[in-house]
Amino acid sequence: MLQLVAVVGAGAAGLCAARHILSRPGSFAPPVVFELGDSVGGTWRYDERVGTLPDGRPVLSSMYRDLRTNLPKEVMMFPDFPFDPQLSSFLPHQEVQAYLERYCENFQLRPHIRFSTVVGNVRPVVTATEGEERKVTWEVTSSDLSGRQKTESFDSVLVCSGHYSDPHLPHVPGIENFKGKVLHSHSYRFAEPFSGQTVVVLGAKSSGLDISIELAKAGAKVILSHRDRPLKFPLHPAIQQSSSVVAVEDNGSICLQDGSLCDADVLMFCTGYNFKYPFLDAAQLGLDVQDHMVSPLYRFMVPPAFPKLFFIGICKIICPFPNFNCQVQFALAVLDGSVTLPPREQMEEEVRQEQQEKLQRGVQHRHLLKMDQSQWEYCDVLARSADFPPLLPVVRSLYEEVWRQRQIHPENYRRNNYRIVSSTEWELID
Ligand SMILES: Cc1cc2nc3c(=O)[nH]c(=O)nc-3n(C[C@H](O)[C@H](O)[C@H](O)COP(=O)(O)OP(=O)(O)OC[C@H]3O[C@@H](n4cnc5c(N)ncnc54)[C@H](O)[C@@H]3O)c2cc1C
Ligand SMILES: *[C@@H]1O[C@H](CO)[C@@H](O)[C@H](O)[C@H]1NC(C)=O
């Protein structure tokens, strides 16, 4: 019997899921991909609007107008689908969107996507007890633009709904006293309106740093406030680093960790995003969903209590598309029976041990889903256990090189162009 899989979301992860499901017609029926937007691409579908749309739905994409990728296309690509070789290595977001549309056409995914359809509920239903093995099917309730609801039954669900849409806003005591504008990078689109203003940017991760550079170039004065060690590389002269924001005084002045005060026109939170799955009942699934954490997930994908539900793309600090590609292939190998998961208790125990070990190494709880160095071993393990080709060593090598360059030349590293010369080597081209 062919299995019917529901895919929630038609961003990069959902498209990748659909592509691999369709390539296994012996095991899977064509998937049903639910997408609340009217096109594919998710994050990469730039929308100049912010806030709430006329139909009442929030704008989900956090893409800004002048964003260029922070990974070169040579490693950013899905391993089985290159970008146009004519393009430079670091791309404007439009090129990534075009790439994902091409991916969708090439693998003929579009007929399987239901656009403008929002998944409102995903629920496991225990249908029978055959001996000791319980049988779980999945009820997916969705609604289209007219509000018409539909509930359908699936054998499994791949959750590919992304996690860069719900802004994380840390509490700043007294923020109601701030007289200027408060916004989150989720609602930032371009820098011109900030010209001549003083902007306190909170957070110096990729968005915080990138947006600070855009603002500085557009003539804003930027106070880059963060709690990491001071950045060592040369920054634009209009960017000044400061310690973290601790409060806003009664008169609207901003109070910093080091005791100093500053005044600003804008507070821009580049403080990341929350995980949010409004269509899942976490408790029922045995999951704990917090702002920065979803747990327990075996191999960062599977709730041990419900091993036919998979989260794709939940890890942070990864090479996203290649990572999704590995996760999807592993998930399908589990579903088609070629990989057997350990029993529930063992999965729970493995997750617990892994988390324990990280916490003992000093990793903060909120960073438990950050992969960084461990992403390569992770993908290798998935590839070995599910018997698909591992990521080539050159992907890691170039990713790490670019990461180094970004630390040294945050403004200019995107000028480099690279070429892959073998499975282990890349070269820099003029
Ligand atoms: C500002 C920014 C810059 C980035 N830069 C890079 C980069 O340079 N290189 C890189 O590789 N990665 C980058 N990323 C990471 C990026 O998130 C991934 O590349 C990738 O786009 C994530 O894909 P996804 O499918 O997991 O999620 P998304 O792209 O968010 O797609 C999720 C989809 O699910 C849909 N959806 C959500 N909920 C529902 C629902 N209930 N019902 C139906 N549909 C639903 C959404 O509409 C959306 O289309 C960046 C991210 C951001 C935010
Ligand atoms: C706001 O109040 C603080 C004392 O709490 C003071 O040092 C600062 O100068 C004041 N700022 C303005 C703009 O008046």
CATH number at residue 231: 3.50.50.60
Whether 88 and 230 share a structural domain: no
For 309, phi then psi, to 5°, come to -110, 130
Task: Using the mean position of ligand 2's atoms as its centre, give its distance from the Cα of residue 251 in Å.
Answer: 6
Q: Point out the ligand nearest to the CA of residue 253.
A: 2
Contact 255, 261 (CB under 8 A): yes
How far apart, in Å, are the Cα atoms of 189 and each of 41, 46, 92, 304, 315?
18, 9, 14, 40, 25
Burial class from Cβ neighbours inside 10 Å (0-12, 13-18, 19+) for residue 327 reads buried
Q: In the numeric block, which tokens belong to residue 152?
A: 């359908």
Whether residue 34 lies inside any domain: the answer is yes
Helix ranges restricted to H, 281-388: 320-335, 344-360, 375-386
Whether residue 426 lies inside any domain: the answer is no
What pLDDT is attached to residue 236? 95
Atom of ligand 2 nearest to the CA of 263: 13
Task: Using the mean position of ligand 2's atoms as its centre, give its distance from the Cα of residue 181 in Å.
Answer: 19
Give dist(CA 302, CA 414) in Å, integer: 36
Whether 15 and 156 share a structural domain: yes
Strand partners, 52: 58
Whether residue 381 lies inside any domain: the answer is yes
Whether 29 and 105 share a structural domain: yes
Q: In the numeric block, which tokens belong to residue 245?
A: 């924001």
Whether residue 106 has pLDDT greater than 70: yes
What pLDDT is attached to residue 55? 82
In 3D space, the residue among 360, 363, 389, 391 whose CA is nearest the CA of residue 375 turns out to be 391
Nearest CA to ligand 2 atom 1: 251
What pLDDT is attached to residue 130? 64
Mean pLDDT, residues 351-356: 98
Give dist(CA 390, CA 254) in Å, integer: 49
Tell me the CB-side half-sphere exposure of residue 171, using CA atoms within 13 A.
1
Whether 158 and 65 share a structural domain: yes
- pTM over 0.85, yes/no: yes
Give CA angle at 114 (109, 117), nearest 5°. 145
Q: In the numeric block, which tokens belong to residue 338?
A: 């070629």
Whether 63 and 188 share a structural domain: no
Please compute Rg for the chain using Cα positions: 22
Whether 41 and 146 share a structural domain: yes
Whether residue 430 lies inside any domain: the answer is no
Mean pLDDT, residues 179-205: 98
Question: Which residues form the domain of 122?
Answer: 5-165+273-393
Whether 188 and 61 share a structural domain: no
What pLDDT is attached to residue 189? 98
Whether 141 and 261 share a structural domain: no
Atom of ligand 2 nearest to the CA of 251: 1
Could you report the per-residue pLDDT of 369-409, keeping only the tens digit for each?
A: 999 999 999 999 999 999 999 999 999 999 999 999 998 89
Could you report the per-residue pLDDT of 219-242, keeping only the tens digit for each?
A: 999 999 999 999 988 899 999 999
Whether 12 and 141 share a structural domain: yes
User: Band of the pLDDT at 145, cuts 50, 70, 90?
Assistant: confident
Give dist(CA 160, CA 103) in Å, integer: 16
Give dist(CA 427, CA 196) in Å, integer: 41
**Which residues' Cβ are closer than 6 Å to ligand 1?**
8-14, 34-37, 42-44, 60, 62-63, 67, 69-71, 76, 118-119, 160-162, 164, 207, 279, 313, 320-321
Burial class from Cβ neighbours inside 10 Å (0-12, 13-18, 19+) for residue 36 reads buried
Whether residue 251 has pLDDT greater than 80: yes
In 3D space, the residue among 41, 101, 97, 47 whose CA is nearest the CA of residue 68 turns out to be 97
Whether residue 323 lies inside any domain: the answer is yes
Task: Using the mean position of ligand 2's atoms as its centre, give its distance from the Cα of residue 290 in Å.
Answer: 37
Whether residue 405 lies inside any domain: the answer is no
Whether residue 249 has pLDDT greater than 80: yes
In 3D space, the residue among 14, 3, 8 whose CA is nearest the CA of residue 104 turns out to be 14
Whether 86 and 185 share a structural domain: no
Whether residue 134 has pLDDT greater than 90: no
Mean pLDDT, residues 205-213: 96
Whether residue 137 has pLDDT greater than 70: yes
Task: Using the mean position of ligand 2's atoms as its centre, give its distance from the Cα of residue 256 in Å.
Answer: 13
Burial class from Cβ neighbours inside 10 Å (0-12, 13-18, 19+) for residue 364 reads exposed
Whether residue 132 has pLDDT greater than 80: no
Sequence-ordered list of residues with C-beta below 8 angstroms from that of 193, at least 6 positions apart, any chain? none
Could you report the per-residue pLDDT of 260-274, keeping only the tens digit for each?
A: 999 999 999 999 999
Whether 259 and 295 share a structural domain: no
* Domain end marker among 242, 269, 296: 269
Whether residue 415 lies inside any domain: the answer is no
Whether residue 420 lies inside any domain: the answer is no
User: Band of the pLDDT at 133, cuts 50, 70, 90?
Assistant: confident
Give dist(CA 353, CA 295) in Å, integer: 13
What pLDDT is attached to residue 56? 85
Whether residue 128 has pLDDT greater than 80: no
In the chain, pLDDT over 70 holds for what percent of residues?
A: 99
**Total domains present in the chain:** 2
**Which residues' Cβ are closer than 6 Å to ligand 2?**
249, 251, 253, 261, 263
Nearest CA to ligand 2 atom 5: 249
Stated as kind and residue range, the H or E segment containing 183 is strand 181-184
Whether 11 and 160 share a structural domain: yes
Tell me the CB-side half-sphere exposure of residue 72, using CA atoms within 13 A.
30
